[in-house]
Amino acid sequence: MKIAFYSTKPYDKIWFAPLAEQYGYIIDFLESPCRPSSIQLARGFDAICIFVNDTITAPMIDELCNLGVKAILLRSAGFNHVDLNAAKDRLHVLRVPSYSPDAVAEYAMALLLTVNRCTHRAYSRTRDFNMSINGLMGQNLCERTIGIIGTGKIGQCMIHICRGFNMNVIAYDPYPNSALDVKYVTLEDLFSQSHIITLHCPLTKETEHLVNAQTIQMMQDNVYLINTSRGGLIHTEDLIDALVNRKFAGVGLDVYEEEEGIFYEDRSNDIIPDENLVRLTSFPNVLITSHMGFFTQEAMKAIAEVTMENAHAIKNNLELKNAL
Ligand code: NAD
């Protein structure tokens, strides 16, 4: 089994290299992202292994088929970056459906706590011996209403965490889970009743721009918004307009609509061409991080193990239980 591993970062090798040796597979760790211009690097490989910002379009799938590649191994649960229709019956596409929902939910809470209590700003101030706390006032989370959109694996972990903070939890999911002890409400009610809204649903045609000018208008003033799911759930320009109009007490974003080429890269010496991203980073009540909600040792270990099991299943014609 030969795998072309795109978008390699040092932390990927730590987890994947020993497993490749164990399985006896060859992994070529490529720093290049998977783009039309780099797809030819997959020549001679059985599979490619990609991450969340490696977008695979229909023409790229044609090319992969021409090169004899048999499978796309996703190092992620989300799969909105692969044209599955184009891949159907031609290439196997396998994902890691769950690696550590706790990691992402804990991170969503970290974003909320940070953007609410301004610990990130306090850290910068005290390192400069600016001990003023002016402008850093937050709100108690206890007894506030948090609206959870999407009660799958991560949403459920988030519910448990919020209960620990003695928050009032309400939820929306088009497929409510009757086994869950949570109060489901309509999306409209969730928007209007929540002091905090946190997104834990996938990016699909139905959820694209779920947060937009119209839905923002339904929200309470001084609401908090947390997004650790996918950037496309939020209409960025509408969010910026609302921030300018002081709608939000705080916004924590681990994901962004136009991450590709910026997130996971060191662009600190560049002029950033994305004006929306630059504008978003300028708000004192907005915290943006680089799609790292998953990034714990436990999650990285699980991603590597399941990805290699997926490769093993393909090589040995076993049941492809993580196929899309
Ligand atoms: P999951 O499949 O277990 O749960 C998703 C839930 O969303 C399901 O209950 C589903 O019914 C619900 N849903 C579907 N359509 C909906 C809609 N229109 N409105 C509201 N809810 C809807 O997925 P999960 O493991 O909990 O992951 C959720 C998302 O988190 C993923 O899709 C991925 O985009 C994101 N994620 C982000 C990171 C990160 O590092 N930031 C890591 C892993 C996953």
- Given 75, 95, 230, 235, which residue is catalytic? 230
User: How much is the average pLDDT of 119-123?
Assistant: 97
CA 315 / ligand 1 centre spacing (Å): 29
Taking CA atoms only, the protein residue closest to ligand 1 atom 42 is: 294
What's the confidence (pLDDT) of residue 137?
97
Mean pLDDT of 101-120: 98
- The pLDDT of 232-249, averaged and rounded, is 98
Residue pLDDT, tens place only, 123-172: 999 999 999 999 999 999 999 999 999 999 999 999 999 999 999 999 99
77-93 residues labelled b (16+ CB within 10 A) or e (exposed):
bebbbbbeebbeeebbb
Taking a C-beta distance cutoff of 8 angstroms, is the pair 93, 314 a contact?
A: no
**For 22-51, what is the mean pLDDT?**
97
Closest CA to 15 of 313, 307, 287: 307
Of the pLDDT bands very low, low, confident and very high (cuts 50, 70, 90), residue 207 is: very high
pLDDT tens-place string over residues 243-294: 999 999 999 999 999 998 899 999 999 999 999 999 999 999 999 999 999 9
Closest ligand 1 atom, residue 97 Cα: 25
Q: Residue 99 CB: number of other CB atoms within 10 A?
A: 24
Better-scored residue on pLDDT, 192 or 181: 192
Q: For CATH 3.40.50.720, list the domain ranges present in the chain.
A: 2-99+296-315, 101-288
Catalytic status, residue 259: yes
pLDDT band at 304 (very low <50, low <70, confident <90, very high): very high
> For the chain, what's the residue count?
324
Q: What is the C-alpha to C-alpha distance for residues 16 and 308, in angstroms, rounded to an integer? A: 8
Confirm or reject: Cβ of 172 under 6 Å from ligand 1.
yes
Residue 153 near residue 105 (C-beta atoms within 8 A): no
Contacts of 59 (CB under 8 A, 6+ apart): 36
Return the pLDDT at 211: 98
Residue 85: predicted pLDDT:
97
**Mean pLDDT score across all residues of the chain:** 97
234 DSSP 8-state letter: B
List the alpha helices (DSSP H) in 181-296: 187-193, 213-218, 236-244, 275-281
Among candidate residues 191, 96, 107, 224, the one with its CA nearest the CA of residue 154: 107
Percent of the chain with pLDDT over 70: 100
Q: What is the gyration radius of the CA atoms in the chain, in angstroms?
A: 21
**CA 98 to ligand 1: nearest atom:** 25
Pick the CATH number of 101-288 from 3.40.50.880, 3.40.50.720, 3.40.50.150, 3.40.50.2000: 3.40.50.720
pTM of the model: 0.93
The third-level CATH classification (topology) of the domain covering 2-99+296-315 is Rossmann fold (3.40.50)
pLDDT range class, residue 88, cuts 50, 70, 90? very high
